[in-house]
Chain A
Amino acid sequence: MPGKLKAKIVAGRHLPVMDRASDLTDAFVEVKFGNTTFKTDVYPKSLNPQWNSEWFKFEVDDEDLQDEPLQITVLDHDTYSANDAIGKVYIDIDPLLCSEAATVISGWLPIYDTIHGIRGEINVLVKVDLFNDLNRFRQSSCGVKFFCTTSIPRCYRAVMVHGFVEELVVNEDPEYQWIDRIRTPRASNEARQRLIFLMSGELQRKIGLKVLEMGGNAVVGYLQCFDLEGETGLVVRAIGTACTLEKISTLPATATHPSNSSPSKDMKDSPQAAPSTLGCRSTHSSPVHSASSRLSQGFSVSVPTLLFAGMKPRHRSSEAPRARQCRPGFGEEAPGVPLSSGPPTPLRAQTFSSFSPSKSYSRQSSSSDTELSLTPKTGMGSGGSAGKEAGPLKALLRQQTQSALEQREYPFFTLTAFPPGFLLHVGGVVSARSVKLLDRIHNPDEPETRDAWWEEIRQEIKSHAKALGCHAVVGYSESTSICEEVCILSASGTAAILSSRFMQDGSLDTEHRLSRQPLCVFSTGSERVEGDMGSSASLGFEEVVPPGCGFCHIPYDELNIPFPAQLTYCYCCRRYKVPDVLFTTIDLPTEANVTGKGCLIQARLCRTKKKAQGEGNATAISNLLPFLEYELHTQLMNKLKLRGMNALFGLRIQISVGETMLLGLASATGVYLTALPSPGGIQVAGKTPSDITYEQHISNMQKKINDTISKNKELHEINPPEVVEEIIGSPIPEPRQRSRLFRSHSESSDEVSELDLSHGKKDAFVLEIDDTDAVEDIHALLTDSPTPAGFYSCNTEIMPGIQNWTSAIQMFTSVRVFRLNANLTNQGLNKIFSDLCENLLKSLYFKLRSMVPCCLCHLNFTVAIPEDELIQVAVTAVAMSFDKEQSLENGKQSGEKTLIKAITENDEQLQFNLELNAETSSPNPLSSPKGLSEVGSHPSARAPSVDYSSFADRCSSWIEQLKLKAHTIRRGSVKTTSSLEKASPLPEGRSRSLRSNRSYSGSSVAVVKMTPLSFIPGAKIIKYLGIINMFFIRETTSLREEGGVSGFLHTFIAEVFAMVRAHVAALGGNAVVSYSMKECVFMENPNKNQAQCLINVSGDAVIFIQESELESTSVQTQSATTHTSNGGEGT
């Protein structure tokens, strides 16, 4: 009996009139948890009842506490007939189960009814008394913190990142349980809402259990999705990244804490976690500690760990499962530290590998055998590397890792942003899709098929990453699209190599390193491992490698590239090879060197398909998929070049399936990475040169394209230094060849990796117009209108070149549904679809014009085909104003700003560095930690022997970094003075935010900000109160009366926002970060005057405070540093 839940019903207000005669209501409340129900007295004849009930107490297992929501039903008492339900409130009490989150839920919550929407509010108080349960075999996972945020939450630091966790639960969909529809839709919708709340709770609990088994105490980047499979059931699945987080305390003591020596301390917030952690740790501690066995340690300890507890016994049996996560001691304990803590890009000196821009994918039809093992590639990679780099350890490593990797570990991370230096190299986007036929899930407790499906996909992703020479996949996500019985499962991520240094420093999980080493060996050979090992030796090189380009350097062996690609030497450091184009699914690393600003780039595609059933349909779809992806990729590439940019971040490709068409929408943020070569233009080439008018046509087109490119460059302030090659004498070895894009479909084969996706480097990118398709494509290219003056847009968290945000933010959701009225060709469809998206964007800009200058961040498009001939596009994003004057300067000095931003944003994560290697450092708690850690993270200062104890040193090296940065960006025209002035970000923005805050204070309803980003500009998050994960269904049988479909959905979305805000406020919060609308399923039947909509939203409830204490405009390096540290630690 480990928990007591207490609830008190205080009052109601704005209740609807339930008794027409008196215009009043006799309301009472039922409070239900599990199978226990309490009732309040009837409060007669009032629309604002004051129940002031006693405390209703539920004594329950903590398993139930996690699974069940508290259900509050408000009813109208009726003496003669059945009581009428006014509405319900579901309260997720999970935030109360974690000592660090909320302690009480108290406030006005909207009373919701699926037919009437919000009907008044109810004031409740909910508390939980939790008794600690140290039973190791318990089923609950109370205390594990969940975050939607896909980076380390702001007031925490990662002690360890354990790796990927996933789980799914299935159930029958109540909507389909009654074939003859005995129940009313309302009853079944209420049952669905309740069920999904339950399933989410159960899923979260199960994920939590896995996290505890792994020794973690939190899940970051938690992504939960619903698959409404219809008759075959309801699947709720989630993925996330298990971490051990530690709250950053503001006490100066942090610096001197022997923070990582005792794992139990890390777990202080979830006492339950401690025993298992200790257990794990003890089993593995011995190999870790001997320096000689560093590698083996890496291997044995490191498997990044996915436990299919309870679901897949076969996996478990293969290897002692629990043993996997053990943590080696940190800091001084680990003898291996000095060796491996070296530079993040160690091996580069020896190997240059080639790269292809990003995409390998494969598809499987449901019937086909899974052709996912890319063994040839893998073999190739490892073979090549083996030849080169036959370290004595390598063979050993390979042996050890190979078997382990063949198992089920997924070195996946749902994170999209990392502490600087953690992400070493990015290989490119890896994605996998699979078309499946849904079948009935016979035993909901063993959803083997669904699990197996996802496992296939993940295996494939893993092997793609290997083929790119990477040991990890970051920015990983999974999604589905369902139409009738066909389901497309998709997964994508960015192949990457992660640093092991952080783990040895004790900051991040050892498993990165562990997983990484084996993987490297396995796939591309041992160079990478060697590099890490020999990092101390290569320190000399490190110092010249700015952190802003390291991640661009290719991670794979250039002699064994799986794809043809153009490589050059890095335009920043000139030492390592970089690809000509880089696609990723992650956020732009804060430390990246970027020229100019970025912008949203979208590729949109429609493909018709024949109506079909069953297997035939699935086959048809899976035959179409490669073409779809190829075309999307081509479009992206063309549009990227058209904007004069060379890299995509936050790439998200969504493929949606309908009965007669497939929709593909790829969104990403294009930027010009300084390290990468300048993209060539686009050259149009005709095939029939005889025709003069045709020639003219082509030259016109060419001119237009060229104009657009130069206009775009101006718009995005892309002025890369042109002279570089002459100055440096670029040693680019490869002969540049003009590559051409093959447009004909026949040339692309099923094995997509054979497609020629390469592009000329400096040379123009040739578009051959040999058919009408190409002409259409070029037109499509040119129809994308630039963003209006004063606007920027991106789908990532950060827009390069803009930091001086004001506190004015506006989160919004826009939904549009279009009906296609005629039979259309593919081109016609494409045009329409593209216009839809463009017009939607235009509307957004117009709507938000009062916020100019402003940037639409995290523009997240979701497309769906709700019915035949209907296209639904939903967008959620946040508009953030910024200060114009500063932004102009910013353009010139983006380098410095970016660096500073990086410091601000990441200092909390870096703090561990300080704690670990700076025990001797200055006792001044405020100024030292940040400066130190920041410096420590830079390669130039990374050598362990550097003495950080003097503040002056720290300062100067910090300034040096700034200078270096400026230098890099402006190629010699350095004004270091200005870099100091820039050190304080946005004082004006902040003061404005203060003002606006004051004006809000008069409101009787607390203002709750919402944003899809993980931060709030001009404010710092001081507490995470728990995850918000809500699911609502709304239905109507009087569609016209409610303003038609638009009126209906408008009201519903506003209601969802209101409920999210109310629940956040009740938790004591004033904002939701990392907010997203995961699902918006809209169905209408205008003939019957009916409509129905399901919405699922999630986010992290937080408390933030305005950074008023940072107001000071006098900026010295020192003060900037100090402030930064304040911001990071969170008071």
Chain B
Amino acid sequence: MLFKKMSMELDVFVGNTTVLDEDVYQLWLDGQTVTDAVRIRIEAGALQECEANAEVLLSDTMDQFRTFQMCERLLQSPSKVANQLLFQIPPHRQTMLIERYYEFDSMFAREVLGKKLSKGTKKDLDDIGSKTGIVLKSCRRQFDNFKRVFKVVEELKGPLVENIQRHFLLSDVLARDYAAIVFFANSRFETGKRKLQYLSFQDFAFCAGQLISYWTVGAVDNVVENMDVDLEKEFLHDLKDLKVLVNDKDMLDQHKSLVCAQLRGKIKVFSEMEASFKNLSRALVNIASKLTHTKDVRDLFIDLVEKFIEPCRSDKWTIGDLRLFLTHYSSSVHTLEAFRRQVIWDRYMGVIKSCILKMYHD
């Protein structure tokens, strides 16, 4: 009763070394309100600690949230965290703060992947939030992080992952994920189609990693000025030359017989493979030859799914069958004497093979 007779006007706690509670930080990152955070903490048993009561917990939560809010400005340019003077934070805690701030829900990233990181998309965050169950505030933070990283590295030369790591001081794993997001956003790959819904963020991130590693300018020569964000135009152009593999009937037959010879008895779906070989090969080569058009680059994944993965799936290929097929499909081209673009072929098929294998699941 007595407590009604007064109210807390002001309540702060400032440590010389900034006091940071990682659990509360996560609640803040998750976009919880103070009230919800207190409830969650109570449910997690925080009251058992240190003879706390709800009031203490509320005060602590508010204080921590305020601290994080004050840090947020710094976290948005992580390189400042280490040489700012306002908060004395040990380096390992700084790393934790930054890493956690830039971590994201892959559910959320999956939704945003390949979309333009613009204001228009930001309005869709409401929908994404209700779809994924992620609190809007957290969606905003994650989206803003994507946008921020994108803006900083899109014009930078040099390896994409390293750029991200250098500017945002992220771990290698997280920097690679951001590279995927930046790469997808830059090339605007189509990921939203219903047929692609089964693919997770990690599937796409893997594919993006493959594309970045093998198909960009930086992939071939390691000169620092090269950009990692865009696919190498020359390479895409050269892909047209692969058409001969399907247009030249002799070559197509020869290719098929080579592959069949290798796979006979080794895969369960041999007959189906034999029947659909030409269609599958045509699909892969056609995808390659169309990549000069931006539109078709965007459709790379939907094309792969529609033209290759779905037919295989309907024939009930196992992943092992698929791996063997792709391995021999790709390597037997080397024995086609008339075919001259071995290097281009390998560069293309290496990426396509690993992408398909990654994407081949339910």
- Where the two chains meet, the residues of A that have a C-beta atom closer than 8 Å to any C-beta of B are 13-14, 108, 110, 118, 121, 785, 788, 791, 810-822, 824, 828, 831-832, 835-836, 839, 842-849, 852, 870, 872, 996, 999-1000, 1002-1005, 1007-1010, 1043, 1045-1047, 1049-1051, 1053-1055, 1057-1058, 1061-1062, 1082, 1084
Q: From residue A179, how far is it (CB to closest CB) to chain B in Å?
A: 30
Q: Is the CB of A108 within 8 A of B13?
A: no
Check A847/B92 contact, CB under 8 A, given A832-B6, A1003-B82: no
Asked if B19 and A812 sit within 8 Å, CB to CB, the answer is: yes
Residues of B within 8 A of A836 (CB): 6
Known: A818-B9, A849-B49, A1045-B9. A1002 touches B91 (CB 8 A): yes
Cα–Cα, bound, A418→B291 (Å): 84
- Asked if A816 contacts B8 (CB within 8 A), the reply is yes
C-alpha spacing A1005/B80, complex, angstroms: 11
> Are B88 and A1008 in contact, with the CB atoms below 8 A?
yes
Q: Using an 8 Å CB-CB cutoff, how does the interface string of B71-87 with A read, 1 for contact, 0 for none? A: 00000000010111111
Q: Which of B59, B67, B80, B90 has the most CB of A within 10 A?
A: B59
Q: How many residues of B contact A (CB 8 A)?
A: 46
Contact A999–B92 (Cβ < 8 Å): yes
List B252-279 residues whose CB lies under 8 Å from chain A.
none
Q: Tell me the complex Cα distance, A818–B6, Å.
A: 7
Assess whether A818 is in contact with B90, with CB atoms less than 8 Å apart.
no
Alpha-carbon gap, A691 to B3, bound state (A)? 32
Q: Are B5 and A1046 within 8 A (Cβ)?
A: no
Return the chain B residue nearest A871 by Cβ.
B6
Contact A1050 B12 (CB under 8 A): yes
Q: Which residue of A810, A832, A842, A1007 is within 8 Å of B52 (Cβ)? A: A842
Q: Is B51 engaged at the interface, CB distance under 8 Å to the other chain?
A: yes
Q: List the A side residues contacting B12 at CB < 8 Å.
A: 814-816, 1046, 1049-1050, 1053
Q: What 1/0 mask marks residues of chain B from 53 to 82 whose CB sits below 8 Å from any chain A CB?
A: 101110110110011011000000000101
Given contacts A1000-B91, A1003-B82, contact A1049 B10 (CB under 8 A): yes
Given A816-B10, A819-B9: A1003 touches B51 (CB 8 Å cut-off): no
Residues A1055 and B2 in contact in the complex (CB < 8 Å), given A14-B80, A788-B50, A843-B56: no
Is the C-beta of B16 less than 8 angstroms from some C-beta in chain A?
yes
| Contact between chains at B7 and A1054 (CB < 8 Å) | no
Alpha-carbon gap, A985 to B298, bound state (A): 69
User: In the complex, what residue of chain B is closest to A996 when comparing beta carbons?
Assistant: B90
Taking a contact as CB atoms under 8 Å apart, the answer to whether A811 and B15 are in contact is yes
B44 at the A/B interface (Cβ < 8 Å)? no
Nearest Cβ on chain A to B47's Cβ, whole angstroms: 10
Q: Are A817 and B60 in contact (CB under 8 A)?
A: no
Q: Nearest Cβ in chain A — how far from B86, in angstroms?
A: 5
16 A-B pairs within 8 Å (CB atoms) are namely: A812-B16, A813-B14, A815-B11, A818-B6, A818-B8, A835-B3, A842-B53, A846-B60, A847-B60, A999-B91, A1002-B91, A1010-B16, A1045-B9, A1046-B66, A1054-B70, A1057-B16
Tell me whether B85 and A1062 are in contact (CB under 8 A).
yes
Q: Which A-B residue pairs are the 5 nearest by beta carbons?
A: A817-B10, A812-B15, A811-B16, A1053-B14, A817-B9
| Among B19, B52, B85, contact of A108 (Cβ-Cβ < 8 Å) | B85
A1008 proximity list for chain B (CB < 8 A): 16, 88
Q: How far is the CB of B8 from chain A (nearest CB, A)?
A: 6
Q: Which residues from chain A contact B193 at a C-beta distance below 8 Å?
A: none
Q: How far is the CA of A847 from the CA of B6 in the complex (A)?
A: 23
Check if B123 is an interface residue, CB within 8 A of chain A: no
Q: How far is A765 from B63 in the complex, measured between Cα atoms in Å? A: 43
A832/B2 contact (C-beta < 8 A), A870-B9, A1050-B66 known = yes
Residues of A within 8 A of B83 (CB): 13, 1004-1005
- CB atoms of A1000 and B9 under 8 A apart: no
Q: Are B91 and A1057 neighbours in the complex by a CB distance under 8 Å? A: no
**Separation of A1062 and B83 alpha carbons in the complex (Å):** 12
Give, as a whole number of angstroms, the nearest-CB distance from B89 to chain A: 8
- Report if B119 contacts A (CB, 8 A): no
Residue contact B6 to A821, C-beta cutoff 8 Å: yes
The answer to whether B84 touches A14 (Cβ under 8 A) is yes
Chain A residues closer than 8 Å to B15, beta-carbon distance:
810-812, 847
A1061 touching B6 by the CB < 8 A rule? Answer: no
Residues of chain B lying within 8 A (CB to CB) of residue A1002: 91
B90: A residues at CB distance < 8 A: 996, 999-1000, 1003, 1007
Question: A85 to B12, alpha carbons, bound, how many Å?
Answer: 30
Q: Is the CB of B5 within 8 A of A820?
A: yes
Pairwise interchain contact B9-A812, C-beta atoms closer than 8 A: no
B194 sits at the interface (CB 8 A): no
Chain B min CB distance to A577 (Å): 42
Q: Which residues of A contact B17 (CB under 8 A)?
A: 810
Contacts of B59 in A (CB 8 A): 843
B52 and A846 contact, CB distance less than 8 A: yes
- Asked whether, in the complex, the Cβ of B4 is within 8 Å of the Cβ of A821, the reply is yes
Closest to A870 in B: B9
Determine the distance from Cα of A791 to Cα of B49 in the docked complex, in whole angstroms.
Answer: 12
A1057-B14 in contact given A828-B5, A846-B52 (Cβ < 8 Å): yes
Nearest residue, chain B, Cβ from A818: B6
B67 lies within 8 A of A1050 (CB): yes
- Assembled-state Cα–Cα distance A810/B15 (Å): 7
